Structure 1
Amino acid sequence: MRYIQKAEYGVPPNTSIDESDPLFVQAIARAMQVLSTFHEAGKPLTLNEIAAAGGMGKSAAQRVVHTLRQLGYIDRDADDRGYVPGIRILDHTRDYLRMNPLVARASPVLMELRRNVRERVDLSLRDGLRLVYAARLQSKRETFFATLVGQSVPIYCTSGGRAVMAHMSDAEVDEIIERSVRREITPRTITDPAAIRAKVQEARENGYALALEEILQGEIAIATALVSPDGTPLGAIHIAGSLSEWDAESFCRRFAPLAGEAAGAINRF
């Protein structure tokens, strides 16, 4: 068993992978490795770029790409400059969302919350050291970045992440901080371990977490955790607004109670 150090096989860094497991199918893993090369891509990828990013030879990459293209999971881009993800990947996104019980029971609560707050409302789910957005209900102003289901953000520097860590032990919080690749996403991203711990403690005391411009400049966000019946944090509800319209005190006073009520309604199911 080993911990991968980059996003191999389509899973986040520091994920445990036991490649010696007799049930582990290397061919399937290689296909996921090819698909994962698109995660951070900003343009269509050539076969050479896929091979290099996937850590495999060009001939191996060619066979995998050809197979995935035949199945509809990879396609040529419209200008024939390289390869892009295929439309059939969306079938699996739909399957995950409609069959996830937390997403299903949260959806009506989130829609009602969005009607009340008239700001962006998100649902994120924990996956290791990151949160992945499973629902995004938009406000009057948005960037493309802030509209995508499947977009992920680090736990250590987000309101949702701190809300999640507030339901963990100090040892678990320290482990997340230690394993995270802490980098400044914006000039206001908090990366110092002691400062992160202080923000987590603040979330424990307040019942919600606050982040100012740590992922998107000009954005203020609060979050409350979603937990399982045994108290395990599963994800978070976020409410995000603009600092051009809100100061931190007014935003929290207006929206923290509503976020807490929504999370409570979902957690009681």
Structure 2
Amino acid sequence: MSIERRAKPLRDDPLHVASVAKAFQVLDAFGHANGALSLAELATLSGLDKSATQRFAHTLWRLGYLDKDERTRRFSLGRRVLDAAFNFLRSNALVERATPALIELRQACGERANLSLHDDTTMIYAIRQQTKREYFAGSLIGRRIPVFCTAGGRAVLSRLPEDDASSILARSDLSPLTGRTICDPTLIMAKVRAAATDGFALAVEETAPGEITVGAAVTDVAGRPVAAVHIAASVADWPPSAFAERFGPLVAEAAWSLSQRL
């Protein structure tokens, strides 16, 4: 969703359908949970009253977007949710064009190659080409990571006017993900400016312990950043300076090549 659409208050939108939004509040509640939810938990996390939650959960269950354990009466996301994700990925032109490029990049560098899509204050992983050393969360598409502390996110910010980048940081939750996450806006903007000069950004253990990443922005025909290409590896294998020197130009070239095809 674009920044412009997020900025418009929904109550001022004459086309806004409140019941549809509430159904998605129920689905979004599972983003705050690690497992199945009771009706009461679902109501609390969705911000709806229990009666409304029951009606929406029942409808979503009948449609296949929620599953319900008949013994415990607890709800979990249904398989139809995966259909929506699949349809997005198969119909997204950037994902289609980036997939073979990411496979080649992974083969060339021998490390994990990813594509993330820019969505306001976050980046969403859409392609994850795995290698030798992986962890569960690092293998999942659809994961959102804050823009401010990722190599790809900072590369995206570096291709925006500085006022726009500062606005994104001002609206971001600058909470640390690890003990090494840089959360000071002044230091973050210094990293963003360095990315603008270098053509790529570097992040060391800022989103996951032991992980080092370089990222470069993919831009559309208007020159606006829409995504980022990442190469990720282990700090046990690479000192930061050597990693940046070896893989920074590779990731920048891959991102530039994809940008020319949009």
**The TM-score by the shorter chain falls in which range?**
over 0.9
Which residue of structure 2 lines up, in the alignment, with residue 3 of structure 1? none
Letter in 2 for 1:222: V
Residue 108 of structure 2 corresponds to residue 137 of structure 1: no
Q: Which runs of 4+ in 1 moved over 4 A?
A: none
Write out per-residue CA displacement over residues 26-57 of structure 1, whole angstroms, 9 at most, x where no aligned residue.
Answer: 11111001000001211211100110111111
Give the direction of change, closer, same or farther, for the CA distance of 1:79–1:130 in structure 2 (3 Å limit).
farther
Query: Counterpart of 1:123 in 2: which secondary structure?
Result: strand
Whether the aligned pair in 1 keeps the contact of 2:32 and 2:45 (CA below 8 Å) is no
Letter in 1 for 2:65: Y
Give the direction of change, closer, same or farther, for the CA distance of 1:253–1:81 in structure 2 (3 Å limit).
farther
* TM-score, structure 1 as length reference: 0.92
* TM-score, structure 2 as length reference: 0.94
| Distance in 2 separating the partners of 1:185 and 1:138 | 22
1:22, distance to aligned residue in structure 2 (A): 2.8
Instruction: Give unmatched runs, 5+ long, in structure 1.
Output: 1-13
Which residue of structure 2 lines up, in the alignment, with residue 111 of structure 1? 103
Find 2:243's aligned residue among 235, 247, 251: 251
Residue 174 of structure 2 corresponds to residue 182 of structure 1: yes
| Distance in 2 separating the partners of 1:211 and 1:16 | 33
Query: Counterpart of 1:38 in 2: which secondary structure?
Result: helix
Which residue of structure 1 lines up, in the alignment, with residue 47 of structure 2? 55
Whether the aligned pair in 1 keeps the contact of 2:218 and 2:259 (CA below 8 Å) is yes
Find 1:87's aligned residue among 76, 79, 82: 79
Query: Counterpart of 2:142 in 1: which secondary structure?
Result: coil
Whether the aligned pair in 2 keeps the contact of 1:44 and 1:81 (CA below 8 Å) is no
Whether the aligned pair in 2 keeps the contact of 1:72 and 1:87 (CA below 8 Å) is yes
Give the direction of change, closer, same or farther, for the CA distance of 1:197–1:98 in structure 2 (3 Å limit).
same
Which residue of structure 2 lines up, in the alignment, with residue 199 of structure 1? 191
Whether the aligned pair in 1 keeps the contact of 2:64 and 2:78 (CA below 8 Å) is yes
Letter in 1 for 2:213: A
Write out per-residue CA displacement over residues 86-111 of structure 1, whole angstroms, 9 at most, x where no aligned residue.
Answer: 00111110111111111111111111
Letter in 2 for 1:62: Q
Which residue of structure 1 lines up, in the alignment, with residue 28 of structure 2? 36
Residue 45 of structure 2 corresponds to residue 45 of structure 1: no
Query: Counterpart of 1:236 in 2: which secondary structure?
Result: strand
Residue 210 of structure 2 corresponds to residue 218 of structure 1: yes
1:76, distance to aligned residue in structure 2 (A): 2.1
Which residue of structure 2 lines up, in the alignment, with residue 11 of structure 1? none
| Distance in 2 separating the partners of 1:226 and 1:98 | 19
Which residue of structure 1 lines up, in the alignment, with residue 3 of structure 2? none
1:81, distance to aligned residue in structure 2 (A): 6.3
Which residue of structure 1 lines up, in the alignment, with residue 64 of structure 2? 72
- Higher relative helix content: 2
| Distance in 2 separating the partners of 1:225 and 1:15 | 23
| Distance in 2 separating the partners of 1:78 and 1:263 | 48
| Distance in 2 separating the partners of 1:79 and 1:222 | 47
Which residue of structure 2 lines up, in the alignment, with residue 5 of structure 1? none
Give the direction of change, closer, same or farther, for the CA distance of 1:16–1:185 in structure 2 (3 Å limit).
farther
Residue 203 of structure 2 corresponds to residue 240 of structure 1: no
Instruction: Give unmatched runs, 5+ long, in structure 2.
Output: 1-5
